[in-house]
Amino acid sequence: MPQLPALASFRPRLMRDLKGYDRDRLFKDVGAGATVGIVALPLAMAFAIASGLKPEAGLWTAIIAGFIISALGGTSVQIGGPAGAFIVIVYGIVERYGVANLLISTASAGVLLFLLGLFRLGTLVRYVPVSVVIGFTNGIAVLIALSQVRDLLGLEITKMPADFFAQIGTLAGHIQSFNPYAFGLGVVCILGLFAWPRLWAVDSQFRRQLDQIQTVSALRATSRLPAPVVALITLSLLAWALHMPVETIGTRFGGIPQDLPAFALPDFSWETVKLLVTPTLTIALLGAIESLLCARVADQLSDTPKHDPNQELMAQGIANAVVPFFGGMPATGTIARTVTNIRAGATSPVAGMVHALSLAAVVLLAAPLAQHIPLAVLAGVLMFVAWNMGEWREFNRMKRFSNHYRLMMVSTFLVTIVFDLTVAVELGLVLAVVLFVRRQSEIFRAEPVAETDQQITFQLYGSLFFGAVAKIDAIVARVEQAGGPLNVVLDATRLISLDTSGLDALESLHKEIAKRGGRLEFLGLNEQPRSLMERSGFADRLRESA
């Protein structure tokens, strides 16, 4: 009886990192967590609003999911929460199925993510080609930027459609409601986000001049504030002080509740779940890819032990299964906040837990102030996120790679924009498989190396599989042209592998040779081809006809 594969052990990285934990590491983690909590504040609200949800949905997702992912995850420094990659997906689900069904989809995706980790399938995500990942990442970045044009221009549009071309048509149809105040705030926000870190760079002229000022220590303290937070505070104060006629969180959503989120069960039925199979798979696939890609980035940037992909998926699954019951949205690993966490000195998952708690404290204490935040400023933050999210240099580097790579990347990019991520990833994977089969079939060769009147020897190279069996037809043709008995020797010392389709082609070749009174012989069979021939009985038939 075949044995079932061993399940993954549930071992959160936190348990390992707390061994030998000391005061110095605690101070570093608390400082890093508080910094990331401040960074997460504007991003969480912006991601939720752009997804068609209320800002508190993003905030409490960052708090609850962020705490669970850090406490139970398989990495030391990764930060979890709402991510820009989900904006397009979530908005489409809300548009087509409604918020209640988004919650069911997210919870179902959480269960699926947990099972992927439990059955040790975390490594499968690595099989997605990098060209496909770059293609849909750039496509999502374009869609995020497009979704923010309404608020950046201050257009009076009640609801944006989910379709790409419909969005463009809607924006063009309302361009007459352009608000120069909103546009000005958004542009200043974007420029400030680009300029802020450059102003405080060690080699900047601005920094050199400040070195001559006695109050440089206080100014340097200001430089530690994240650029999105500086933009949010300064531009919100400017809009409020000047009474700018721009839409804010308060005017659109009525502000952010200062209470803890209530536990509520969404309306659940199996009939609804059946309709949500595609959205659920999309959330699970994207969540797995994003979280494990983020974990790999964290491995490269920090000195902490390498991540456990299966434990990370189980933690992501638990977080996504819990968050919907508090009105949250899908969560995953977030690269920008993870990098901030690492650079701030984080040493363990405690930093991620502190990030969630500090964000909760800010929400509960300062929620009324959020109603003054202009939506154009949040749009500027997301435009900046979209720019940093895209791998735009890859388009210029495409000329260095094969046509296969270009086809997969460009097609995935375009389909992500025009249709949706699910179709794009499916198309990208299908193309990857087809092009891989084609490339492998080109590698296989059957070359004649010696020939007499009664015998011909062929050297086999590569893998004889379903995509390469047509090349055996050339040997069959030589047998038919011989007119009389012909012995065929196949030198298989360089035959790497053989599948059942390849075996069937060899069976047909053997029958044609035996029909004419000749025999088929193999030399130097490797283990895998020999094993398949023995198990199928083909080796016995060869010996009987010898």
> Residue 402: helix, strand or coil by DSSP?
coil
Separation CA 436–CA 443 (nearest Å): 11
- Closest by CA to 451, choosing from 482, 494, 406, 410, is 482
Judge whether 289 and 122 are in contact, CB under 8 Å: no
Residues 489-493, mean pLDDT to the nearest whole number: 94
Identify the pLDDT of residue 3.
53
Average pLDDT over residues 477-504: 91
Residues contacting 205, CB < 8 A, separation 6+ = none
The single residue listed with the structure tokens 């309404």 is 150
pLDDT in tens, 152-167: 999 999 888 878 899 9
Q: Are strands 520-523 and 80-81 parallel, antiparallel or unpaired?
A: unpaired
Question: Which amino acid would we find at residue 144?
Answer: I
- CATH 3.30.750.24 maps onto the chain at 444-545
Residues 447-484: tens digit of each pLDDT: 999 888 889 999 999 999 999 999 999 999 988 888 78
Cα gap 66→355, rounded to integer Å: 8
Whether 376 has a pLDDT exceeding 80, the answer reads: yes
- Residues with Cβ within 8 Å of 5's Cβ and at least 6 positions away in sequence, in order, are 119, 120
Q: Average pLDDT in the 387-400 region?
A: 86
Task: Give a three-class secondary structure readout of 436-476.
Answer: HHHHHHHHCEEEEEEECCCEEEEEEEEEECCCCHHHHHHHH
Q: What is the DSSP string of 79-114?
A: -EE--TTHHHHHHHHHHHH-HHHHHHHHHHHHHHHH
How far apart CA 463 and CA 445 sit, in angstroms, is 9
For 208-237, write each residue's pLDDT tens digit.
666 666 555 555 666 667 788 889 889 999
CA 487 to chain centre: 55
315 in Cβ contact with 288 (< 8 Å): no
Q: pLDDT tier at 367 (50, 70, 90 boundaries)?
A: confident
56 Cβ contact list (under 8 Å, min separation 6)? 48, 256, 257, 261, 327, 363
pLDDT band at residue 390 using 50, 70 and 90 as cut-offs:
confident
Q: What is the mean pLDDT of residues 390-410?
A: 86
Select from 323, 298, 318 the least CA-distant residue to 308.
298
What does the pLDDT read at residue 1?
Answer: 42
Q: What is the pTM of this model?
A: 0.81
pLDDT at site 354: 96
pLDDT band, residue 303 (cuts 50/70/90): confident
Please, which pLDDT band fits residue 494 given cuts at 50, 70 and 90? very high
Q: What is the pLDDT of residues 226-266, one digit of tens each?
A: 788 889 889 999 999 999 999 999 998 887 888 888 888 77
Q: Where are the alpha helices (DSSP H) in 98-226?
A: 99-118, 130-147, 149-153, 164-173, 180-199, 205-210, 216-223
At 503, the pLDDT band (50, 70, 90 cuts) reads very high
Predicted local confidence at residue 2, as pLDDT: 46
Query: Could you tell me the pLDDT band of residue 199, with boundaries at 50, 70 and 90?
Result: confident
8 Å CB contact between 120 and 130? no
Residue 237 has what pLDDT? 94
Give the model's confidence band at 274: pLDDT under 50 very low, under 70 low, under 90 confident, else very high: confident
Residue 267 has pLDDT above 60, yes or no: yes
Q: Are 78 and 32 in contact (CB under 8 A)?
A: no
For the residues 321-342, what does the mean pLDDT come to? 92
Report the CATH number of the 444-545 domain. 3.30.750.24
Percent of the chain clearing pLDDT 70 (strictly above) = 95
Arithmetic mean of pLDDT over the chain:
88
Q: What is the pLDDT of residue 420?
A: 76
Q: What is the distance between the alpha carbons of residues 426 and 418, in angstroms, rounded to a whole number? A: 14
